[in-house]
A and B are shown apart, each in its own frame.
Chain A
Amino acid sequence: MLAKRIIPCLDVTNGRVVKGVNFVELKDAGDPVEIARRYNEAGADELTFLDITASSDNRDLILHIVEAVASEVFIPLTVGGGVRAVGDVQRLLNAGADKVSINTSAVTNPQLVKDAADRYGSQCIVVAIDAKRVGDHWEVFTHGGRKATGLDAIEWAKKMESLGAGELLLTSMDRDGTKSGFDLALTRAISDAVDIPIIASGGVGTLQHLVDGVKEGRADAVLAASIFHFGEYGVDEAKRYMKQHGIEVRL
């Protein structure tokens, strides 16, 4: 049976992981390769790197990281952040990324999603959707939740699927950073609206939240950053908990 996936997310800037990880005996908590290796050993099903480098001068550093990680860690790697053109997708894939996540540029230039999917296949194109509840519906936001787009999140998800997205990374901007759990209604609404897999993100504070995301939110995968980074829970621990609650996982 197909397993639900657990995906740790690493924020990278200027070639370093921003949030330290409290792995035992980890020499350098900012070294992306070391952290990727530890997550791999702990049973992460995939890894996502989010490049939050502000300066364009240092953007190529993520390519070196992807290349180094891909030489040692043989699970799927997704890279997002600052992907604006088909050329960006190509560079990341050539460096060893398996999937590329497109966020703001999908809104400013939806054709990019279609062009990238046509060129490299839907399997490697993830569209990241940042959604926030506005009145009785959810709206798509960009720029880290600061900029409203006027787009309805459910309609947007369907459009991205039709343009060739192979997967959606859905983040609730209401929940992100709150540790109060996923927005389950949002996750479920989007998961029911499309046929492609949904990665739920934003708000994980406990292992029960991961279970809820799959069972109530009908997510196909769950992404979390801080609960893993700060050593509150291990990926292996999270998987055992999910299994105890009747969720199929890879152990």
Chain B
Amino acid sequence: MSVDIAVIDYGMGNLRSVSKAIEHVAPSASVAVTSDPAVIAAAARVVFPGQGAAPDCMREIDARGLRQVIVDAARSKPFLGICMGMQVLFDHSEEGDTACLGILPGTVQRFPHEAMHDAAGNKLKVPHMGWNNVHQAMPHPLWVGIEEGERFYFVHSYFVQPTTPEVIAGFSHYPFPFTCAVASGNIFAVQFHPEKSQNAGLTLLGNFVTWNPGEHDSACDMSGAACA
């Protein structure tokens, strides 16, 4: 029997929060936290979370034989990447000089030590931890009902730098602007944790579980070639 939503479990951190939040917004949906490629392949929607370090993350994906099913899901069905699950969609991470999945063009970089000061000269801590404003760079079905500049909860030391700026769906400042959400066809991925971002996060997850990427998808229209 296929599930509505598969949360990919590859041994990277605590997925309980993610599944609980999804169950909260979609009480009638069947949600599986799974590392079974067959379950992921058959699911209608896929959530790809993750915490920890990029080298471990890629190693665990391959150790479980999940690379192909993740790539296939990202190309074919509503797909939500969260935190590390966003970063490894790109080509390469500076963290441990790690080759990633290469589903989206771009790299992952650490907050550079020399830049971590605010306008008054105060040191900014890394990891970037806490609630920061998320600015929406494009209209998208997953932003519906969420105010421009709404705060979401972040905890990370690395951020993505997409090669193709048209995939940038949202950005935040720490202290410089960095990409914190990307959208490309059926993929939406965020650096922050919607499952820990109270009402705004639940709204985003609620939008995801009803999202049908398709020809009327404004994000798709805007991101052009990425949807072809």
Interface residues of A (CB under 8 A from B): 1-5, 40, 45, 70-72, 74-76, 93-98, 120-124, 166-167, 192, 195-198, 218, 220-221, 250
Contacts and interface: CB of A to CB of B under 8 A. Distances in A.
Nearest to A70: B20
A19 to B, nearest CB: 24
Contact of A5 (B24, B126, B130, B133): B130
Nearest to B51: A121
Given A195-B123, A197-B125, A75 B16 contact: no
A4 B130 CA distance: 7
Interface of B: 12-14, 16-17, 20-21, 24, 51-53, 113, 116, 122-133, 151, 153-156, 173-174, 195-198, 201-202
B196 A123 contact: no
A98 B52 contact: no
B16 A45 contact: no
Contact of B196 (A1, A74, A94, A121): A74
Given A3-B131, A74-B24, A74-B195, A98 B14 contact: yes
Contact of B24 (A2, A3, A71, A93): A71
B125 A195 contact: yes
Closest 9 CB pairs of A and B: A121-B52, A93-B14, A250-B131, A121-B51, A123-B155, A3-B131, A197-B125, A2-B132, A250-B151
B63 to A, nearest CB: 15
Contact of B132 (A3, A96, A97): A3
A17 to B, nearest CB: 21
11 contacts: A2-B124, A2-B131, A45-B131, A70-B16, A74-B198, A123-B13, A124-B14, A124-B51, A196-B125, A197-B129, A220-B125
Nearest to A196: B125
